[in-house]
Amino acid sequence: MPTEREFQIAPIVPESVMHNTKALSNLQNLTASIFGAAAGILGLESYSGFLFYLVFTVLTTVLFYAIRVAPTSLKAGHATFDTSRFFRTQYEFWAGGLFGGLAGYILTWTLFYGLVRA
């Protein structure tokens, strides 16, 4: 956990933090709704639906890492799967989307399940 002293030595730009977090959470909310539609069309029920969400969200995050984070982060000398150049904590990047998009996912999942199986 960084201390006050470390923040004084290596300050952080709040605008950049907000910009990056907004980009990631927008993406995750959008994709969660799309995954819900797909799960409803496939007719998934109970655990398989949540498993579907988990797999695709992790896939999206890895894709986001590969396209947006990795090219500049690896060039700057960070280790693989290290997102400290753009995000404050690793947890925020890798697991933040799982809970942020879950509500939207369940909403569209139930909607499309009901629509398709009329």
Partner 1 sequence: MTWISKSTTGFGLLLLAHACYSAHEHSALQSHRAASLSSLPTTQSGSTTSLPIDITIETVLATLMICLGLVSGTSRLRPIQWRVWAGQIEREGEAGFTNSSGEVEKDYVGNPFRLLESRPGFVDIRKQRKEFAEWVKGQ
In the bound state with partner 1, the residue whose beta carbon lies nearer, of 7 and 99, is 7
Q: CA Rg, the chain, in Å?
A: 17
Q: Which residues of 69-100 are buried (b: 16+ CB within 10 A; e: fewer)?
A: bbeebeeeebeeebbeebbeeeebbbebbbeb
In the bound state with partner 1, the residue whose beta carbon lies nearer, of 104 and 112, is 112
Rule CB under 8 A: is residue 56 a binding residue for partner 1? yes
DSSP letter at 65 equals I
Rule CB under 8 A: is residue 93 a binding residue for partner 1? no
Residue 78 to residue 15: CA distance in whole angstroms: 22
Rule CB under 8 A: is residue 98 a binding residue for partner 1? no
Q: Are 97 and 28 in contact (CB under 8 A)?
A: yes
Rule CB under 8 A: is residue 109 a binding residue for partner 1? no
- Residues of this chain that bind partner 1 (CB under 8 A): 10-13, 15-17, 19-20, 23-24, 26-27, 30-31, 34-35, 37-38, 41-43, 56, 59-60, 63-64, 67-69, 72, 76, 85-88, 112, 115-118
